[in-house]
């Protein structure tokens, strides 16, 4: 079974997670526009395009501000490897985020 970022990183910021009350629920865990992409829940397997996610305990900014760090992330690398030819490019994901939800 493919893991979502909060399962892989064990951050505890998913809804009901052990750190959600103190640190807040992560935007990747609630972003429904990317649900199902790379077989993830919400943006759980596309977290690198979601603003406000945490990395090493620090809130990351917009996609443009954080992407270079995300490219080096072990979770990002794992998703790229698992998805191979089905990996959805960031430009496509950002386009999905910019559209109103049906």
Q: Is the pLDDT assigned to residue 78 strictly greater than 90? A: yes
Tokens matching residue 81: 């490897």
Model confidence, pTM: 0.89
Contacts of 15 (CB under 8 A, 6+ apart): 25, 29, 30
Residue 101 vs residue 102, higher pLDDT: 101
Domains of the chain, residue spans:
5-96
pLDDT tens per residue across span 21-77: 999 999 999 999 999 999 999 999 999 999 888 777 777 777 878 888 899 999 999
Q: Is the pLDDT assigned to residue 101 strictly greater than 80? A: no
Helix (H, G, I), strand (E, B) or coil at 79: helix
Q: Is the pLDDT assigned to residue 102 strictly greater than 70? A: no
């Amino acid at each position: 079974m493919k893991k979502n970022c909060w399962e892989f990183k064990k951050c505890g910021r998913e809804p009901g997670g052990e750190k959600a009350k103190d640190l807040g629920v992560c935007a990747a865990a609630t972003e429904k526009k990317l649900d199902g992409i790379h077989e993830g829940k919400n943006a759980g397997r596309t977290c690198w395009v979601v603003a406000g996610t945490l990395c090493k305990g620090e809130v990351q900014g917009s996609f443009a501000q954080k992407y270079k760090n995300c490219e080096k992330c072990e979770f990002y690398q794992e998703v790229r490897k698992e998805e191979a030819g089905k990996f959805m490019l960031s430009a496509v994901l950002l386009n999905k985020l910019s559209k109103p939800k049906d």
